[in-house]
Amino acid sequence: MTTVENDADVIVVGAGPGGSATAYHLAQHGLRVLLLEKTEFPREKVCGDGLTPRAVKQLIKLGVDTSPEAGWLHNKGLRVIGGGVRLELDWPELASFPNYGLVRTRLDFDDLVAKRAVAAGAELRTGVNVTGPVLDATGRAIGVAAEVGPGKELTTFHAPLMVAADGVSGRFPLALGLAKREDRPIGVAVRRYYRSPARHDDRYLESWLELRSREGGDKLLPGYGWIFGMGDGRVNAGLGVLNSSSAFGKTNYRRLLTDWLANTPDDWGLNDDANADGPILGAALPMGFNRVPHYTRGVMLVGDSGGMVNPFNGEGIAYAMESGELAAEVAVQALARPAGVERERALAHYPTELKSRYGGYYRLGGVFVKLIGNPQIMRIATKHGMPHPLLMRFVLKLLANLTDPRGGDAMDRIINAMTRVAPSV
């Protein structure tokens, strides 16, 4: 057997929020970490400018200054619009999570989190396009193959453990034969920035449960929408469509967005392409563990690579960072053991713990996705649910996964009990 000199204790593929959080926590524990990113920072990403308190908690763990003075726009909660009702719901007051959300462009955000990983001791290499794993004779990953720099020089890097955090495309796990599961929810989201002095500093993230077009007599459009201020003179306006909708895969989503925004008030500036700041961009939202197993043959999956987007609200960044923290904790314990059976036993704890934390909740989310994909059910739920603020506060806690795990109020106890009794996905 040939002895390979390792370049790191752990190689992390992808320096998005999940990969950078993983690298940060690994480095904090004293491991040698190589963080490989195919692009250069700063770089644009489509979704994730609006962060719930769940994501804020992870940023605080990374030592990020989330103050307005550091360039963050704080928000107080969620404004829900539907069924002829406009309801403002503040983020809940909890022991486990802060009571504010944040807004920042991914252009700044991903760069900032990657820098926290570097400050903790991780080595970041940009311009490194990982093409697949390097396997030993048993089929276990012992490194990665990559094209490096503008000349695409073929290079290999070696480590006893790899973390795939390469996003929804999941090229690295695909190279291991880990395809997406077709029986799990998936969504498509499109968004565009608009200059909007009237809305840019809004203190609420705005969610539209009904989208209507002026054309065709105020007809109802598929999907759900959002509008929230960026604090810099612009807003982020977008919409999502789930695969439980009959319109999924059969709709021009960019046209859908402009049809809906054409029906918004003139003073917002969203119904005029002259106010647009950049093109309409789209991304897929891989939900409910749509790629498994989350550990196999020396590779752990983190974030979108493992389909960890919340089916209830499309949030991915919080779960990417949480799974990165968990992956780091498991990796530290595993690498302290001898290679072989003992180490594999420790690594097997990662998918088990992920299932324990999120499996029941994601199962409920899958049911929710199927229900709201039916326009009739969505219309009834909106009409009868929206006029009841107490019920909607419960819905906010459920959709944003914001409860205190122990103690808490009656809503927390009901939601926690529901997720415990639901069979894991």
Determine what percent of the chain falls in helix, strand and coil, rounding each to the nearest 5.
35, 25, 40
Banded model confidence at residue 83, pLDDT cuts 50, 70, 90:
confident
Distance CA 38, CA 148 (A): 8
Distance CA 34, CA 12 (A): 6
Could you read off the pLDDT of 238-286 as tens digits, one per residue? 999 999 988 888 889 999 999 999 999 999 999 999 999 999 999 999 9
Average pLDDT over residues 154-179: 95
Could you read off the pLDDT of 7-48 as tens digits, one per residue? 999 999 999 999 999 999 999 999 999 999 999 999 888 888
- pTM for the predicted model, two decimal places: 0.96
pLDDT of residue 149: 87
Could you tell me whether strands 219-221 and 211-213 are parallel, antiparallel, or unpaired per DSSP bridges?
antiparallel
**Coil, helix or strand at residue 97:** coil
pLDDT of residue 344: 98
Question: Per CATH, the architecture of 10-76+96-182+289-366 is what?
Answer: 3-Layer(bba) Sandwich (3.50)
Distance CA 74, CA 207 (A): 17
Among 55, 19, 44, 253, residue whose Cα is nearest residue 144: 19
Q: At residue 376, does pLDDT exceed 60?
A: yes
DSSP state of 276: B
The whole-chain average pLDDT of the chain stands at 94
- DSSP one-letter string for 389-421: HHHHHHHHHHHHT---SSS--HHHHHHHHHHHH
Could you read off the pLDDT of 299-347 as tens digits, one per residue? 999 999 999 999 999 999 999 999 999 999 999 999 999 999 999 999 9
Distance CA 270, CA 263 (A): 9
Q: Are 411 and 393 in contact (CB under 8 A)?
A: yes
Q: Are 132 and 110 in contact (CB under 8 A)?
A: no
Buried-exposed string 66-98: b where 16+ CB fall within 10 A, e elsewhere: beeeeebbebbbbbbbbbebebebebbebebbb
Q: How many residues does the chain have?
A: 425
Q: What percent of the chain has pLDDT over 70?
A: 98
Among 194, 259, 202, residue whose Cα is nearest residue 229: 202
Banded model confidence at residue 218, pLDDT cuts 50, 70, 90:
low
Interacting residues of 204 by C-beta distance below 8 A, sequence separation 6+: 75, 76, 77, 78, 79, 88, 228
**In the chain, domain spans:** 10-76+96-182+289-366, 186-286, 368-421
Distance CA 261, CA 270 (A): 6
Banded model confidence at residue 217, pLDDT cuts 50, 70, 90:
low
Q: At residue 1, does pLDDT exceed 50?
A: no
What CATH class is the domain 186-286? alpha beta
